[in-house]
Amino acid sequence: MKLFNSLTRQKEEFIPIENKKVRFYSCGQTIYLDVHLGNVRTYSYWDVLVRYLRWRGFDVFWVQNITDVGHLTDDADSGEDRIVKTARDKNLEPMVLVETQIKRFFEDIDALNIQRADVYPRATGHIPEMIDFISELLKKGYAYVVNGSVYFDVHKFPSYGELSPSSYSEESAGVRVAVNPEKRNPRDFALWIKAPPNYLMKWPSPWGLGYPGWHLECSVMSQKYLGDTLDIHSGGIEHLMLHHPNEIAQSEARTGKKFVNYWIHANHLIVNGRKMSKSLGNYILIRDLLKKYDPTAIRFFLINSHYRKNLDFNEDAFKEAQNLLTRIKNTLTLIGQIPGGEETTLTADLEILETEFIQAMDDDLNTVAAIQSIMKFIRKLNFALENQRKTVLDVSKGKIIELLEILGITLETANMEQNKGELVESLVDLLINVREDLRKAKMFGISDKIRSNLSKLGIILEDKGTGTIWKKQ
Ligand code: AMP
Ligand code: ZN
């Protein structure tokens, strides 16, 4: 499989460090508001990546953080902790907000069939590890303490900004935010932040009462569970400029080893030309969207675009996704409703489907091409259905369900079966009514034909004084 590695800016063959084992970390949610469509666009891809790798026989260990402290309103260490601020606005204890939001986070991702990671470490649960990490950086001379806060000195780490060279611009740091006078260099970033008086979210440390910096959390939690070097680290494209270069600097400074072999970044969901974001207020919450749209259609919409392209949110694209899904469901529902027939050449087409699907997914997770391979096969299935070629259709149905599952689209086959059962019952009832009318009109020839043909299909009609009943043979 090839993945576009943001570090080398090219597609590279994916080779894990250890045989088939994959150590995967994805940046997760800062847990102060409900999940919006932009968040799940990114999460859907990591889910699909994990599903696909597992399907190809890799043993994936997936960690995704939950940030419950330390993410300030501006990513570059200024402003206020997002959780503390929101909790105050809502008149809640910060940890009450966190508990509520975690519960709602899982409700939302479960509703969208986004698989859960193996571990969801919370920043507040790893304070001792963070203090140890910072102590090591101080001992090695990569960090410095000023007035109860600790900063990473980017000038001590010569390859800083390798992931995105433009991020290493001291002027740009100064332009975005007023540079904190405690920092030696504008690009230095906080590892530990001194807590203001009366602050609830604080912990004792060798440097006084404070809390960890957001960038530090991901390094500490990924390395705790996955080791010094990860196979894949993913996140939204905005992390390319600051969060991820900072993660690399502090992790590699500590271990002296490469932190991540493959960095992958997902582009954004866009609304009217701007990133959907909590701070812009142009977001659509998943729980609101679910009032209007089927979760499977939402998933289909999200996945029907390449992860390295922006995706525009608009109703038409949504309807298009819903239509494609309906076409697939219609075809699969028809399978099994037709009587037996001859063998077909679909076996060869099935192999083509699987080959094309794998080629697409191996090419940097090209979910769009993967969906196209499925739609092409659906057209062939429709043709075979018209010609009543049943034998290979059941296998085809199973294969489509299997491949869609890798894309996070779980079709409710149980429902489809139930609908089919209900449909059969209604049709038999309808035939009984028609036969009744035919008999009243003394058209016994046709009414007898209905009874004998139903009997060939295993449905026995019994005429009683109260009307006709039917049973399966
Ligand atoms: P946050 O809670 O804001 O840190 O975001 C959590 C995750 O959602 C991060 O991986 C972000 O990159 C991702 N994300 C936020 N907004 C969008 C968006 N509009 N499109 C795609 N991903 C997004
Ligand atoms: Zn992160």
Q: What is the CATH number of the domain that holds 325?
A: 1.20.120.640
The answer to whether 120 and 64 have CB atoms below 8 angstroms apart is yes
Q: Cβ(41) to ligand 1 under 6 A?
A: yes
Query: Residue 89 is inside which H or E element, if any?
Result: helix 82-89
Does residue 236 have its Cβ closer than 6 Å to ligand 1?
yes
235 with 327, same domain: the answer is no
Would residue 306 count as lying in a domain?
no
| Residue scoring higher pLDDT (425 or 255) | 255
Q: Ligand 1: which atom is nearest the Cα of residue 275?
A: 19
Give the DSSP H/E element, type plus range, for residue 151.
strand 149-152
CB-based burial, 102-113: b 16+ in 10 Å, e otherwise = bebbeebbebbb
- Nearest 10 degrees: Cα torsion 67, 70, 73, 78: -150
Within a 10 A sphere around the Cβ of 175, how many other Cβ atoms?
11
* Per-residue model confidence (pLDDT) at position 76: 64
Domain boundary among 411, 434, 461: 411
pLDDT bucket at 343, cuts 50 / 70 / 90: low
Same domain, 379 and 434: no
In the predicted model, is pLDDT for residue 292 greater than 90?
Answer: no
Top mean-pLDDT range of 43-47, 199-203, 288-292: 43-47
| Alpha-carbon separation of residue 432 from 112, 188, 266 (angstroms) | 42, 81, 57
Burial class (CB in 10 A: 0-12, 13-18, 19+), 438: middle
Check whether 16 has a pLDDT greater than 50. yes
Which is more confidently placed, 196 or 253?
253
Instruction: Please indicate, yes or no, whether residues 55 and 180 belong to a single structural domain of this protein.
Output: yes
Confidence at 355, pLDDT banded by 50, 70, 90: very high
Query: By CB neighbour count within 10 A (0-12 exposed, 13-18 middle, 19+ buried), where does 186 fall?
Result: buried
User: Do 368 and 459 have their domain in common?
Assistant: no
Q: Is residue 382 part of a domain?
A: yes
Which is the closest atom of ligand 1 to the Cα of 27?
10
How many domains does the chain divide into?
3
Residue 278 has pLDDT above 90, yes or no: no
> Are both 338 and 389 inside the same structural domain?
yes
Question: Does 332 lie in the same domain as 261?
Answer: no
Q: Give 250-270 pLDDT, tens digit per residue.
A: 999 999 999 999 999 999 999
pLDDT for the residue numbered 136: 98
Ligand 1 pocket residue status of 277, Cβ below 6 Å: yes
User: Both tokens of residue 444?
Assistant: 């016994």
Dump pLDDT digits (tens) for 19-69: 999 999 999 988 889 999 999 999 999 999 999 999 999 999 999 999 988
Which CATH number covers residue 97? 3.40.50.620
Residue 112 pLDDT: 96
pLDDT tens digit sequence for 63-109 = 999 998 878 777 666 677 888 888 888 898 889 999 999 999 999 99
401 and 428 inside one domain? no
- With a pLDDT cut of 70, the percent of the chain lying above it is 91
Average pLDDT on 150-163 reads 92
The pLDDT value recorded for residue 181 is 86
The pLDDT score that the predictor gives to residue 211 is: 93
Give yes or no: residues 373 and 440 share one domain. no
What is the value of pTM for the model shown?
0.85
Domain residues for the domain of 448 are 419-472
- Ligand 1: distance of its center to the CA of 43 in Å? 8
| Average pLDDT in the chain | 89
Answer yes or no: is the C-beta of 101 below 6 A from any ligand 1 atom.
Answer: no
Question: 264 — phi, psi (to 5°)?
Answer: -125, 140
Tell me which of 39, 122, 313 to substitute to probe ligand 1's pocket, judged by most ligand atoms within 8 Å of the beta carbon. 39
pLDDT at residue 341 greater than cutoff 60: no
Please indicate, yes or no, if residue 99 is contained in any of the structural domains.
Answer: yes
Give the span between the Cα atoms of 216 and 421, in whole angstroms.
56
Tokens of 275: 């990133």
**Pair 273, 359 in one domain:** no
Which residues, in sequence order, are bridge partners of residue 2? 13, 363
In the predicted structure, residue 466 carries a pLDDT above the cut 90: no
